[in-house]
Structure 1
Amino acid sequence: MCENKFDQKIKAIRTDNGIEFINNKLREYFHSKEIIIEHTGIHTLQKNGRCGRQNRTIMRSVRALLFTKDLPKHLWAESVNTEVYLRNITPNDYGKTPFAL
């Protein structure tokens, strides 16, 4: 999808050594497409850059929401979905929503 949308070949994938990326089937697929797999160290958010910062910001907002409204922990996933939805419909510095961009 990314290659079609941006008309660019994917050169590398960077992962955090999550178990979803450690399997032979995926390695073989990446190898067949000549995609380099880069692994960052475990618990090194600073190497994940923008994605790590976004995740950290979202999680802080979710914790604040749960704590402020005294919500039970089993609503964690729903709170994450709500936070991401709100971020996607809130206009940014360019006056457009991320969804619209």
Structure 2
Amino acid sequence: MDLFGQVNVLSINRNSYCLVVIDDFSRFTWVFFLFNKAGIVDQIKKKRIARQYSSVRTPQQNGVAERRNRTLQDAARTMLCDSKLLVFFWAEAINTAFYVKNRVLINKSQMKTPYEILYGHKPSVSHFRIFGCPCTLPHLESNCKFNAKADDCYFVGYVICMAYMVDNKKTKQIAESYDMLWLEENDTDARVGLY
């Protein structure tokens, strides 16, 4: 496991650190976002992990986690640049990158994805979407016949139960839902200047 941060831009949930935990056998990855370093101890206790220390300024001793950190950060940077969403979506981009990588990267020693090694079956990828793509979130009920029936949103991640996280442009909040109308074919340049 490895920690990166302090990120100079707080995430939407006001976090500035990311703890990356990797299963050595399957290479399945988990990420935990933290406001400060003090939260690490609680996360380690929840996962029942024995703490081991490496020497200061010797990233070579923790090569697997260091490489995974860099891979996740590079993927998140690319997704943020391509989507034209603001930097404070960095945690959502990293969360999306780890979610996808667990389900598509092949562990060369076993020729299976980390998800398949850990859970014993192939993961579904049919629900994958382009990070930052426009979508609409339907209202469950409307109190006026002529009010909008849906809000414009942008896809910003997955919830473990295969639901989606979207940034609602109207409410400026993150929402979770299964029910979306996807507009992936729309030009991503329409997102510039939204915030």
TM-score normalized with structure 2 length:
0.31
Q: Which residue of 1 aligns with 2:12?
A: none
Q: Which residue of 2 aligns with 1:65?
A: 79
Quote the offset at 1:71 in angstroms.
Answer: 1.2
In structure 2, relative to structure 1, the CA distance for the partners of 1:36 and 1:78 (3 Å cut) is closer
TM-score normalized with structure 1 length:
0.56
The whole-number CA distance in structure 2 between the counterparts of 1:75 and 1:52 is: 22
Gaps of 5+ in 2: 1-36, 118-195
Q: Deviations over 1:25-82 (max 9, x none)?
A: x8xxxxxxxx77423214x433311111111111111111111221111211111110
How many residues align? The count is 71
Gaps of 5+ in 1: 1-17, 27-34
Structure with more strand by fraction = 2
Q: Which residue of 1 aligns with 2:116?
A: 100
- What SS class does the counterpart of residue 53 from structure 2 fall into? strand
Q: Which residue of 2 aligns with 1:88?
A: 102
Equivalent pair of 1:40/1:48 in contact (CA under 8 Å) = no
Q: Percent same amino acid among aligned pairs?
A: 30
Quote the offset at 1:91 in angstroms.
Answer: 4.5
Q: CA RMSD in A?
A: 2.5
Structure with more helix by fraction = 1
In structure 2, relative to structure 1, the CA distance for the partners of 1:36 and 1:68 (3 Å cut) is closer
In structure 2, relative to structure 1, the CA distance for the partners of 1:100 and 1:71 (3 Å cut) is same
The whole-number CA distance in structure 2 between the counterparts of 1:36 and 1:76 is: 27
Matched, 1:56 2:49: no
